[in-house]
Amino acid sequence: MRDSAKARQIIDAAIRVFARDGYFNSRVSDIAREAGIASGTIYLYFRTKDEILVTLFREKMAGWVALARRELRGEPDAVAKIRRLVALHFSVLERDPELAEVVQVELRQGQKFFRGAAADEVAAYFDLIASVLEEGIAAGQFRADLPVKVATKMLFGAMDQMATSWVLGKRRYRLSETADAVAAILLRGVASHGV
């Protein structure tokens, strides 16, 4: 549980195993073997198998949000931030295909992703998107009457489905290359006038 090299080692092993076999088909002993430790050792760092998945996700998602926040800070306005956000969303997943498999496919089990322990991190990401939209509205770049909550979900959903389709299509193309097109459509959708 405590931050530790061993915990990270376990999480990294879990990502590989979950990506390969799926969460339900993976045994704790598989993760242990992949990590090169005894299965009992895992329970010194995680209370349950489920907690591995949740922790995995929380850590990755928290890092993701932090990264996004940092990156967006450098962008001049909401439009640029949306473009950056899409590019980042895609490149993070593209850079780590095993993580992508786990996040887009395995993590959607039951209610673990949007509900569950990871809900805070997802909410933070939603908040980040919403804040960019608010900023755009304030700056007059986005429609004044834009329903922000709705638009936030739609933006996330659109990006998420792009990622899911890419993963399920065995990543046969470069996800990043679609970023501009995606951002363009999203921006037109929310813009106060033609962009």
- Give the footprint of DNA on this chain (CB under 7 A): 2-4, 6, 25-29, 37-41, 43-45, 47-50
Decide: is 174 part of the binding site for its own copies (CB under 8 A).
Answer: no
Partner interacting with residue 49 (select from DNA, its own copies, none; CB below 5-8 Å by kind): DNA
* Count of chain residues binding its own copies (CB under 8 A): 39
Distance of alpha carbon 62 from alpha carbon 186, whole angstroms: 24
Alpha-carbon span 147 to 32, nearest angstrom: 47
| Structure tokens belonging to residue 162 | 């792009």
Instruction: Name which of 9 and 33 has its Cβ closer to its own copies.
Output: 33
Q: Which of residues 94-153 bind its own copies (CB under 8 A)?
A: 105-106, 108-111, 114-115, 146-147, 150-151, 153
Q: How far is CA 133 from CA 14, 120, 139, 149, 163, in A?
A: 35, 20, 10, 9, 21
SS3 label, residue 169: coil
Please name the residue that has the structure tokens 């046969």.
172
Residue 109 binding result from its own copies, DNA, none, given CB thresholds of 5 to 8 Å by partner type: its own copies
Mark out the alpha helices in the chain (DSSP H runs): 5-21, 28-35, 39-42, 49-73, 78-95, 97-104, 119-138, 148-168, 179-190
Contacted by 106, from its own copies, DNA, none: CB < 5 to 8 Å by type: its own copies
Nearest-approach distance from CB 141 to its own copies, in angstroms:
14
Q: Which residues bind its own copies (CB under 8 A)?
A: 22-24, 105-106, 108-111, 114-115, 146-147, 150-151, 153-162, 164-165, 168, 178, 181-182, 185-186, 188-191, 193-194
